[in-house]
Amino acid sequence: MNRLRSYVHLFVFTAFLPFAPLVYGEEIFHHGGTGDCQGCHTTPPDLLGSDASSTCLRCHQAKIGISPPDQYYVATDPVTSTLCVQLPPGGDFCWLKKNYSWTPSGTRITQRSDGYSHGHNIVALDYGYMPDSVFSMAPGGTYPSASLSCISCHDPHGNYRRLEDGSIATSGPPVVASGSYASSPEPSASGAIGVYRLLAGVGYQPKNAPGAPVFVADPPLAVAPSLYNRAETTSNTRVVYGSGMSEWCQNCHPLFNDAHMHPVGKRASFSHTTINNYNSYIASGNITGSPASSYSSLVPYELGSTDYAQVKMMAKIADSSGPSGTANVMCLSCHRAHASGWDKILRWNMASDFIIYEGMYPGIDNNSPPQFAQGRTAAETRKTFYDRLVNSFARYQKSFCNKCHIKD
């Protein structure tokens, strides 16, 4: 642990010096595979935390006094900040601790947006994260909520790897690097590369959930930029999703396929109209966009590609180019993977007519009508937009379903 800590500090110190190279700097613990046993175990299999997720949060909940904060934080410590301030693509688990209620103007009926619905309720007793209080199992599946943890989705030992022939396996050449980044190396005969974000694949069932359904789909093909936990005030944090995300979510939500809200995956390829809509739409009433700059990480899509070379190439091009060719809708077009400020882990508030009202992020502290603020402060609403400037949207902004459909 001491050795690890000094690496962590060395990383923090050097990585943020001006012009310091960041390439592979991000790989200081898991290295795309199994990290140092002592980072998680006293003596294997005994964990350092009371449970699996608590063990992860020892490092993955933000520590105070590190500025700028480390990239790999996925939870804000509520003792140090009332706002959920971590902005990774998957979202900040801290939203699970935020309960809101409000009474829409002209009514007397109190509405609620409860914390449990803002994310996947990872059970982490040392950090106050409890099982989901309403769903006993994954909606559209049988995964037990009482066993939901970081290791339900991520293999703690990072065994899933991509081999030279492109296949994904749990054995073979050792994992030599993370596969999550545009800058990640390609596998060779002597070294395999970790799958995206240590996600689990075919045959996986974590040790702490012996009755849980076994995974039938491999991890998705995607790559993230090296700086992925940042405010999107002036530019997108663009994860390039290639393919397989919806199929992967369906490991636990098998009935949430095309019969759910919306078609997804291979069967939800963008038509010519959808491509044009996405590229033209900037905000409600503003459809003057162009393909070179239309991308928004609030409404991501998959390239519809199984080719790493193509996905990595795309990741190196400007962060803002929009869809062309074979893009498709996926679960993460509407949801985040971990948590969000809204019900059902949605990327934006789909339960409101206006997500921006009178040119302001609706808040209980700026006189916005309660049915738009929905119990949040303006600063909280702004965080759900990953700190974008409010004037990058319309004065009266409607749902981003319109990014692909342009209805209102």
Cβ of residue 189: shortest distance to ligand HEC, in angstroms? Answer: 22
| Residue 366: CB minimum distance to ligand HEC, A | 26
As a residue count, the chain comes to 408
Least distance CB 308 / ligand HEC (angstroms):
15
Report the distance separating Cα 15 and Cα 9, nearest Å.
10
Looking at the DSSP assignment, which residues form a beta bridge with residue 397?
356
Buried b (16+ CB within 10 A) or exposed e, 172-196: bbebbbbbbbbbbeebeeebbbbbb
Q: Which is nearer to ligand HEC, 160 or 301 (CB)?
A: 301
Q: Which of 203, 237, 232, 205 is nearest to 222 (CA)?
A: 237
In the bound state with ligand HEC, the residue whose beta carbon lies nearer, of 329 and 378, is 329
Select 220 or 363, whichever has its Cβ closest to ligand HEC: 220
Q: Closest separation between CB of residue 80 and ligand HEC, Å?
A: 17
Residue with tokens 């995964």: 143
Q: In this complex, which beta carbon is closest to ligand HEC, that of residue 145 or of residue 378? A: 145
Contacts of 21 (CB under 8 A, 6+ apart): none
Distance CA 41, CA 43 (A): 5
72 vs 396 by CB, closer to ligand HEC: 72
CB of 365 to ligand HEC, least distance (A): 26
- Quote the radius of gyration of the chain (alpha carbons, Å): 21
From first CA to last CA, the distance across the chain in angstroms is 54
In order of 353, 368, 370, 372, 401, the CA distances from 105 in angstroms are 14, 10, 6, 10, 25
Question: Is the CB of residue 360 less than 8 Å from the CB of residue 366?
Answer: yes
Closer Cβ to ligand HEC, 121 or 243, answer by number: 121
Question: With respect to ligand HEC, which residue has the nearer C-beta, 123 or 378?
Answer: 123
Q: How many CB atoms lie within 10 A of CB 266?
A: 15
Q: What is the DSSP letter of 17?
A: S
CB 30, min distance to ligand HEC, A: 4
CB of 206 to ligand HEC, least distance (A): 7
